[in-house]
Each structure stands twice: as structure tokens, then as C-alpha cells.
Amino acid sequence: MQTGIIYALLAYIIWGLLPLYIKSLHGIAPMEILLHRMVWSLVFLGLVLTWRRHWGWLRGVWANPRLLAGFVASALLLSGNWFLYIWSVSNGRVVDASLGYFINPLFNVLLGVLFLHERLRPGQWASIALAAAGVVWLTVAAGQLPWIALALAATFGGYGLLRKTATLGALEGLSLETMLLFPLAASALAYLFATGQADFTEVDGGVQLLALLAGPVTAVPLLLFAAGARRIPLSLLGLLQYTGPTLQLLLGVWLWNEPFPASKQIGFAMIWISLAVYAIEGIWAGRQRAKLAAQG
């Protein structure tokens, strides 16, 4: 249990500090950062698969068109989520991006109802209603939808839904997604270099090295998360996941002085309360089930 908590917490801390890495790639455009992330992620995952001698699973994948189609869709959602997050951080919208990952767990619940026909308890509906009210408040206060947060939650939520119904594990699934993205990403990157449009060639050596580390920066937290998820209860994993967006919010407000007026604080507070309601209700329901099981 303790090892699992450490693994999961490390994964969420790395994700929470990811804006520091993206900000350090100054001088490289968000789209080019995305291309580097796709390419070097596959290189790193290929090394991991080779070290583990774990390539056999690919034989069954290429013979399964339905599985491949599902992973093409998940790869597109993942790349869209990556690009929007990189763009948000690069353009001083870290606070807005953090909101997307606060909303995401409740968005996942809603997708479960719509597509997996899961049934919610009254407390879960109340938490979703509170979160929706928070989004409405932020929309009215800002005069526009919090589109960055909603788009991040939607793309990552859709990605999670597809991965939940897929048969491959975390390492194999991400490896397949990066394999599917690699031809497009490598071709686009090669074109930028060939035409002299690559920002990579204009930045200093330190930034170039950081760009080449996009692979482990992407894959290591995912592998830590997968290792942690196998060792701790889902309810605990759900509570730990708020570490990431909390760190992102603190970085945006305290380090980069992004605007966080009272109107936005109220909207965030409503969503935080909804998350607290959801967590408390989940703990209570789990105890009730344990009590009934003990009596039975």
C-alpha cells in the first residue's frame, strides 16, 4: 500500500510540475513541442519494451482492426489534449488548464452515465450539479465559456473512456498510440528541419536537450501511475489525483502571477466543494457496502 501511494503520488507530482518543463522550452512553438513529444515518447517506450522483452503483444494488435480503430481515436484525442495543454501553458493560461483537470474526474463520471450506462447515487448527482454551477458561474463572470478547461476535460475524458474499454495495459496502449502518431509526427518534424522552419535549431543546447527528454517526461509518470494503481484502492487513487491540478494552480498564481480574481476563486471553490462532496459520498458508500458484506 505505501509503495503504491509513493508511485501514484510521484506520478501526480510530475504531472503537476509539467508546466515548469513546458515553460523551459522557450523559443519552441507549441506544435513543434507536441511533435517532439510524440517522436521521443515512442523512442523511450521502445527502449522500455526492448529492456523488458515485451514486444509479443503487437502480433495480435495488427490483426485486430477494431482494436486499431479504437486506438487511432484515442491517439487523436491524446494528441489534441497534449497540444491544448502545451498551448495553454505557453500562453500563460496555466490556471485555466488546472481547472480542466479539476473538472475531469466529474466529467468522467458523466461519460460513464452517457456511454457505459452507469447509475449514479444522489450524492454523485449533487456533486456534478455543483460542478456545473461552478462552470456557469465562471462563464457569467468572464463573459465566455471556460473553453480551455472544458476542452481539456472533454479530450482527456474521452481518451479515458476509450482506454477503459480497451484491452491493452498502460504501457502497451501508450506505445501503440505513439506508434500510430509517429509517422505523422516524424514527417512533420522532418519537413520543419528540411525547410529551415524548426525552432529546435534556433534555441540553445540546454533547451534542445530538454526537448529530447520529452519521451521520459511523458512516459515515466504514466508508468509510475500504472504501478501505483495496481497497489492501492481506486478511492485513494481518486483523492491523490488532485495533487496534479493543485500544483498547476499554485504555479500559475504564485510563480507566474496569472490573474486569479475573486470571481474566478468563487467558481473554483464551487468545483472544489463538488469534488469534496463526491469524495465523501464515495467513502461513505464504500463503508456501507463493506458493512453489508460483513453482515451477509
Q: How many CB atoms lie within 10 A of CB 221?
A: 22
Question: What gap in Å lies between CA 101 and CA 91, rounded to an integer?
Answer: 18
State the pTM of this model. Answer: 0.90
56, 234 in Cβ contact below 8 A?
no
What is the structure's pLDDT at 43? 95
Q: Total domain count for the chain?
A: 1
What is the structure's pLDDT at 127? 87
Q: How many CB atoms lie within 10 A of CB 144?
A: 9
Geometric angle at alpha carbon 119, from 113 and 122, rounded to 5°: 110
Geometric angle at alpha carbon 143, from 137 and 145, rounded to 5°: 70
Q: What is the mean pLDDT of each run of 10 residues along the chain (296 residues)?
A: 85 94 95 96 94 91 90 94 96 95 85 82 88 91 91 91 82 92 96 96 95 92 81 72 92 95 93 88 82 77
Owning domain of residue 7: 2-295
What is the structure's pLDDT at 235? 61
Q: Tally the residues of the chain.
A: 296
